[in-house]
Every structure is written in structure tokens, then in C-alpha cells.
Amino acid sequence: MKIGIACDHRGYEAKRHLLPTLKKMGHDVEDFGCHSSSSVDYPDYALPVAKLVAQGKKDIGILLDGSGIGMSIVANKVQGIRAALVHDELTARRSREHNHCNVLCLGTDLLSEAQIHKIVEIFLSTPFGDGRHIRRTAKVTEIEQANLAHSKARGKGENA
């Protein structure tokens, strides 16, 4: 699996410990930073990963910051992204089975290293469900498309 991973300064240590595990699992992992515990702005690191996942150049994104909230907000601004802020094994599984999430966001201040590794393992190994979940995710995509079309139409009217 092609994975893009990024963090801010609060997620740096967790990412540093997670990278060898992902590679040992056989994944093709590209690290988009940050590369130290010096303070940085999380949007600068979340956005490139989200864009590459949306473009299909990465299968999955993994974003780590202190609470997971900032990274998830940024990722979910990108069309085609379904980022999940995951707290435990159940939400990791459900985010994939029920919501077909393609970006995993983790709050490293709230989780142990062992929990992070287990959550990532479950997220990466859980397939998307079928039946009602297909119908529901299709509705989410329709909402996204309608909002995009509305924004484009509104922008044309304002610029005219």
C-alpha cells in the first residue's frame, strides 16, 4: 500500500516510531515531515498528504498531531478525502468499514505508542464494507459534489 505520512511537532516522536513498523509491514511509505520537534504549522504538513491521496497517488494518508483535530480539519477540506480522527480500535475499524476513510488522523498526546501501532494496523487491514455503507458513502460524495458546484457557481457570479 502507498502511504503518505505527516505530522506536526506534537506528532513527531510518534511518527518517528511508526515509520519502521509501516516499512516492516511492507508498505511504500513517503514521509512529508515535519522532521523535528520544533514548532510548525500543521496545515503545511497535512495538506500535501491529503492532496496526494485525493489524486490517487497515495492509497492512504496518516496524519499525527497532538489532538488529531487540526490535521483532520485540514484533510477534510480537500475534495475526495474522508479523514477520520480515530481514538481506539473500534473507531479505526468503523472508519474503514462504514465510512471508507482514506486518511487516518491520530492525537498523539492522547494515545500510547502501542495504541497508535494497533490503530494503524487495524485501519490499514480493514476493508470497506458493502450494502448500506456504499449507499451512505455515495451520499457523502454527492454532498461534496453539490457543495463544490455551488461554490464554483457562486464564485463565477461574484467575479462577473
DSSP lists the bridge partners of residue 4 as 30, 61
> Hey, is 35 helix, strand or coil?
coil
DSSP conformational letter for 87: -
3-38: buried (b, 16+ CB within 10 Å) or exposed (e) per residue?
bbbbbbbbbbebbeebbeebeeeebebebbbbeeee
Q: Residue 125 half-sphere exposure, CB side, CA atoms within 13 Å?
A: 10
Query: Measuring CA to CA, which residue among 76, 79, 64, 126 is closest to residue 98?
Result: 126
User: Does residue 98 have an active-site annotation?
Assistant: yes
List the catalytic residue out of 9, 87, 98, 133: 98
DSSP conformational letter for 88: S
By annotation, the residues acting in catalysis are 98
